[in-house]
């Protein structure tokens, strides 16, 4: 599958807002650089008129069509190692080992999948996971991206992890990353909803689009066991009230929040 790389001169909070907007119209991956944002979308999903209407007259852009076989080179040239405190380090196989080593190291070849630890949503989810006991728990990762959160859940002691993503590219990438990290307790498959999920889980991870979180709030509660934990990200601070209002009627109680770079990660418990 070929993708368009759309480069937009923008930075800081404006880039974060634009990422949230672009994610609603099919963009799947983002690189936040110092003075610009590079957004990636499958060639078949790209609608230039939609992009132009979203950017208006104040923002310009350039586009480049990238063939599938070139993705490794694109990502390797931009992917730096990530440290989330002394807790978790994320690196590719071409990076040197961390020194000193964090508690957990995850090897990721990101390609086009979202979730390298660079973005505030992923790193904040990792920080929330640090304070939760995963030992012996069952975990569901809704929108797994690179599989990074599923892999961390196994490293933290989860006995079983199921993960889905709507994108075939992400699922294949996750499978590669599972093998690279020698996981044994994670199953991943392609799906764009929770309709077929009948099992109950102790912990549910969802680092996805705000509108998807709202749409599947009831289903996320349905597959969580009593006393379960829900971790959400992909939320802007201005959306917090709406997320909490949507979660509360389903028995979710807000326990903790982390805000970073104009993005939120929230922990809810089921009572």
Residue ranges and CATH numbers for the domains of the chain are 3-71 (3.30.70), 131-270 (3.40.50.150)
Strand extents, DSSP E, 166-249: 186-190, 201-207, 224-235
Write down the pLDDT at residue 116.
Answer: 60
* Closest listed residue to residue 110, CA positions, set 98, 122, 97, 127: 122
Rounded average pLDDT over 89-102: 90
- Nearest 5°: the CA angle 238, 165, 18 is 35
8 A C-beta contact, residue 43 and residue 3: yes
Residue 69 pLDDT > 60: no
pLDDT tops 60 at residue 113: no
**Looking at residue 137, what DSSP letter applies?**
-
Residue 112 has pLDDT above 80, yes or no: no
The Cα–Cα gap between 259 and 16 comes to 13
Q: Is the pLDDT of residue 2 over 60?
A: yes
Query: For residue 249, what pLDDT band results from cuts at 50, 70 and 90?
Result: very high
Kindly indicate the confidence band of residue 68, based on its pLDDT and cuts at 50, 70 and 90.
low
Q: At residue 3, does pLDDT exceed 80?
A: yes
Tell me what pLDDT residue 26 has. Answer: 85
Task: Report pLDDT digits (tens) over 180-220.
Answer: 999 999 999 999 999 999 999 999 999 988 889 999 999 99
pLDDT exceeds cutoff 70 at 110: no
Cis amide leading into 254 (omega within 30): no
Record the pTM: 0.78
């Amino acid at each position: 599958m070929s993708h368009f790389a759309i480069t937009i001169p923008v930075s800081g909070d404006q880039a974060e807002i634009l990422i949230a907007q672009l994610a609603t119209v099919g963009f799947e991956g983002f690189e936040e650089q110092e003075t610009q944002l590079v957004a990636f979308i499958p060639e078949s999903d790209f609608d230039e008129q939609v992009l132009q209407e979203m950017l208006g007259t104040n923002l310009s852009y350039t586009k480049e069509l990238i063939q599938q076989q070139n993705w490794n080179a694109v990502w390797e040239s931009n992917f730096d190692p990530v440290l989330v405190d002394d807790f978790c380090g994320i690196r590719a196989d071409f990076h040197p080992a961390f020194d000193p080593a964090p508690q957990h190291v995850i090897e990721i070849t990101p390609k086009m999948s979202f979730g390298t630890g660079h973005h505030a949503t992923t790193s904040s989810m990792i920080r929330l996971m640090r304070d939760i006991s995963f030992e012996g728990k069952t975990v569901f990762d809704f929108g797994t991206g690179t599989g990074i959160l599923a892999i961390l859940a196994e490293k933290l002691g989860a006995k079983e992890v199921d993960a889905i993503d709507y994108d075939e590219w992400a699922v294949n990438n996750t499978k590669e990353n599972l093998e690279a990290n020698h996981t044994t307790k994670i199953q991943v498959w392609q799906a764009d909803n929770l309709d077929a999920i009948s099992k109950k889980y102790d912990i549910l991870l969802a680092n996805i689009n705000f509108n998807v979180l709202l749409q599947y709030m009831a289903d996320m509660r349905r597959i969580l066991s009593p006393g379960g934990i829900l971790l959400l990200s992909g939320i802007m601070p201005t959306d917090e009230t709406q997320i909490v209002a949507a979660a509360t009627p389903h028995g979710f109680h807000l326990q903790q929040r982390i805000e970073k770079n104009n993005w939120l990660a929230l922990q809810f418990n089921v009572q």
